[in-house]
Amino acid sequence: MSFPINRMRRLRASDTLRRMMREISVSVDDLIYPLFVAPGLDVKLQVPSMPGVYHFSVDAICEEAKSVRDLGIPAVLIFGLPDHKDEYGSEAYARDGIVQRAVSRLKNEVPELVVITDVCLCEYTSHGHCGIVRDGEILNDETLDLIARTAVSHAEAGSDIVAPSDMMDGRVMAIREALDDHGFINTPIMAYSAKFASGFYGPFRDAAGCSPQFGDRSSYQMDPPNRREASKEIALDIEEGADIVMVKPALSYLDVISDARMSFDVPIAAYNVSGEYCMVKAAAQAGYIDERRVTTEILTSIKRAGADLIITYSAKDFAHWQRNV
């Protein structure tokens, strides 16, 4: 059947009809808000490359977390900026490390908020790589123990979900075994499974102080053109025990999210990363685009591609907009 029997515009005629015909919608329940915790007292410092994103000290992050909870956002993803860095990233797995202290305060003061912790070494290593470095090489198997220790130390501090972002092979299995050995059989793993070596992480690296001091991350993060390989990475992580898998970045990798949705039945998260956020902020500040409209469209596209959860620096803005429709 075709025109004039068929008229696609019939169901677009009014706002209410459009609302009824909508196939998907983004909910605040889908969102995870990243937070950066830094040393000091009463610190709330704007990250220069990321308008609206701040470094918070442990005390100040609790206040921020309360406002996140009050907006109905269910979860935060915590990144740490340590006091000092060394070759082995030892503050990543220190009992009194910056993330461990923030998590135990958060779970005391805002217990209903789900606290997810990024498990990686790059913010804590002097060389800025996500693993142990020897003779200019980023070692895989030697790194696994440190990654697993980091995850266990986060769980001990009260982390609800651990999220390894290092891209070493075998790290999900190493973390699962270590968590189970320490009695954390119910702590889920959200694995950064298809994490690409992306230029879109630029502003984050300023925010987290984790730029590699030599070379880049291409020997462990994925090569951007590789779609089939992404499915393999995800399948391996599920086999190793990942409860939630992630595609990162989101916007330039919607095909990868869509493939994952078709192939796997586990929850899929997508990371709407710093560079994606900053492009929208900068263009909106210049008056070139409507920030609310474009942000909502971007989040909708990520959901439509198949993501269940979206990690986004826009979570608070989106929650505010939902309140004042």
Catalytic residues: 195, 248
**Interface size with ligand PBG, residues (CB under 6 A):** 12
14: left (phi over 0), alpha (psi -120 to 50) or beta: beta
Q: Which lies closer to ligand PBG via its Cβ, residue 71 or residue 120?
A: 120
The residue whose Cβ lies closest to ligand PBG is 204
Q: Does 165 bind ligand PBG (CB under 6 A)?
A: yes
What is the distance between the alpha carbons of residues 173 and 120, in angstroms, rounded to a whole number?
Answer: 15
Q: Which residue, 184 or 271, is less far from ligand PBG as judged by CB?
A: 271
Taking contact as CB under 6 A, which single stretch among the options 96-104, 203-211, 232-240, 250-258 is the one that binds ligand PBG? 203-211
Minimum distance, C-beta of residue 248 to ligand PBG, in the bound complex (Å): 7
Find the shortest distance in angstroms from Cβ 220 to ligand PBG: 9
Question: Which residues sit opposite 244 in a β-bridge?
Answer: 190
Total length of the chain: 325
Joined tokens for residue 26: 């983004």
Task: Retrieve residue 81's tokens.
Answer: 């900026």
Applying CB under 6 A, among 33, 196, 204, 318 the residue interacting with ligand PBG is: 204
The β-bridge relationship of strands 268-272 and 309-312 is: parallel
For position 191 contacting ligand PBG by CB under 6 A, the verdict is: no
**Under rule CB under 6 A, residue 122 binds ligand PBG:** yes
Q: Is the bond preceding residue 4 a cis peptide, omega within 30 degrees?
A: yes
Are 67 and 83 spatial neighbours (Cβ–Cβ below 8 Å)?
Answer: no
- Regarding 153 and contact with ligand PBG (CB under 6 A), the answer is no
Per CB under 6 A, which of residues 242..281 are in contact with ligand PBG?
A: 273-274
Residue 317's closest CA among 287, 286, 272, 258? 272
Give the count of beta carbons closer than 10 Å to the beta carbon of residue 212.
16
Is 33 a residue that touches ligand PBG (CB under 6 A)?
no
User: Which tokens in the block code for residue 67?
Assistant: 């406002």
Site for ligand PBG, residues 215 to 244, rule: CB under 6 A: 217
Give whichever of 180 and 216 is closer to ligand PBG, judged by the CB atom: 216
Report residue 14 as tokens: 């009014």
Which phi and psi (to 5°) does residue 243 adopt? -90, -35
318 binds ligand PBG (CB under 6 A): no
List residues near ligand PBG by CB under 6 A.
118, 120, 122, 130, 165, 201, 204-205, 210, 217, 273-274
